[in-house]
Structure formats: structure tokens, C-alpha cells
Amino acid sequence: MAVSVVMLDHIADTNAKPDYQTCLAVKGKQSTAAPVTESVILLKKRPSKDESVGHEIMVRKGPWEPEEDSILSAYVKEHGTGCWRKVAERSGLHRSGKSCRLRWINYLRPGIKRGNFTDVEEMTVIKLHNELGNRWSKIASQLPGRTDNDVKNFWNQFVRKQEKSKKKQLACLEANKIKNQLIKSNLGEKLQVEMAGFAVDGMNLPHRIISS
């Protein structure tokens, strides 16, 4: 049985708040082992109105274990998706329906493409984003095997890279501007001597020159 489920059963039995030592013990690890992160062991009680359940449901959060993936895949293969809350309950996974849905759509679903975006995919995303804006699911629907999460992550990464290179370019321009102004001024003659030996790109200018 999956480690996570064993852990949950243990906690349900003792009705105690899980602590790191308990989890480490249940996981069969020594206390010196890599720490179990808070999100892995965080469990949330969710009230249920389902009479067949009759008690609160423990919901597991954090990264999915391979065993959980197997359970979800097997369940969906046999029963299909339908109502995700029922999938979560009937599969025996101690997860929310939302979490199951996300895991299936973004990771387990057949045909999911992994790895870097190809040039064609990149161009498609850029083009479609121009037309549609942040409509990630619409954009993803034009890219077979890619999820909206993939597209969103790609775009955020792309934007960050653009901003970074833009900032670098601006910094260089600004530094060169300052350098030229100083050279033109009377002060420049003295400073030219001082600056000799420093790179022209402005990134290596002495601090007092940049900040003046």
C-alpha cells in the first residue's frame, strides 16, 4: 500500500495531529533523513454532506506519489472521469476532486507532451497570445499534447527572459551615456585616467561613478 495512505490511516487511528517524527517513523525513515516538507503532511478536514460518508474526509495535499498516480490512472481507465469528486472518493485517494482532475489533465492524461517547446510551438504561442491574450486553455487547445499549465509556464518564463535582457540592454545604454557625459565634462579628463582598465559595457564601472 502507498506510503501516503499508510500515513493517513495511522493519523486517522490515533486522531492526532501529524508531526514530523510521526511521519518520518511511518515513512520508515530515520530522523536524520531528508525532512518531510510541511505541504506533504498537511491534511485538511473537509466537511461532507454525503450521507454515505457520514464523517469528515481527510484531504491530502502536496506532490503526488507514484502509487497515487497508478491508482488514479487505473480508476479513470476503468470508470472514466465524470464527476471528479466521486473519482476522488471512490478511487480511495485521499485527495480533493480538484486535485485529481488537475493531476489527470496536466500529467497522467494520455498524449501529454513533455520537454521543451519546439520552435514551431514557441511561435504559435507568441502568435496566439498576441491575438487572444492570457487565454491559456484556448492557446493550449491549438497545441496537441500541451496543457494550459504548460503554456502558462512557458509564457511566464518567456516574459521573464525578455525583461531580463531588456534590463541588461538598458543598463548598458545608461552606463555608456554616463560615461560619455563624463568624458565631455572637465571632470572627464581626470576620470578617463581612472576608468582606464575598466570594461566599456558599463557593468564594471567604479561604484562612485555610477552613483554620482
Q: Which residues bind DNA (CB under 7 A)?
A: 37-40, 49, 61-64, 82-85, 95, 97-99, 101-103, 106-107, 114-116, 134-138, 148-150, 152-154, 156-157, 160-161, 164
- β-partners of residue 57 are 46
For the bound state, the minimum distance from the C-beta of residue 106 to DNA, rounded and expressed in Å, comes to 6
Q: Retrieve residue 183's grid coordinates.
A: 568624458
Cβ atoms of 83 and 98 closer than 8 Å: no
Q: How many CA atoms lie within 13 A of 85 on its CB side?
A: 6
For the bound state, the minimum distance from the C-beta of residue 206 to DNA, rounded and expressed in Å, comes to 20
Which is closer to DNA, CB of 37 or CB of 212? 37
For the bound state, the minimum distance from the C-beta of residue 183 to DNA, rounded and expressed in Å, comes to 30
Gap between the Cα atoms of 208 and 175, Å rounded = 12
Which is closer to DNA, CB of 97 or CB of 188? 97
Which is closer to DNA, CB of 151 or CB of 182? 151
Which is closer to DNA, CB of 62 or CB of 188? 62
For the bound state, the minimum distance from the C-beta of residue 211 to DNA, rounded and expressed in Å, comes to 21
For the bound state, the minimum distance from the C-beta of residue 205 to DNA, rounded and expressed in Å, comes to 19
Which is closer to DNA, CB of 138 or CB of 209? 138
For the bound state, the minimum distance from the C-beta of residue 22 to DNA, rounded and expressed in Å, comes to 18
Which is closer to DNA, CB of 13 or CB of 51? 51
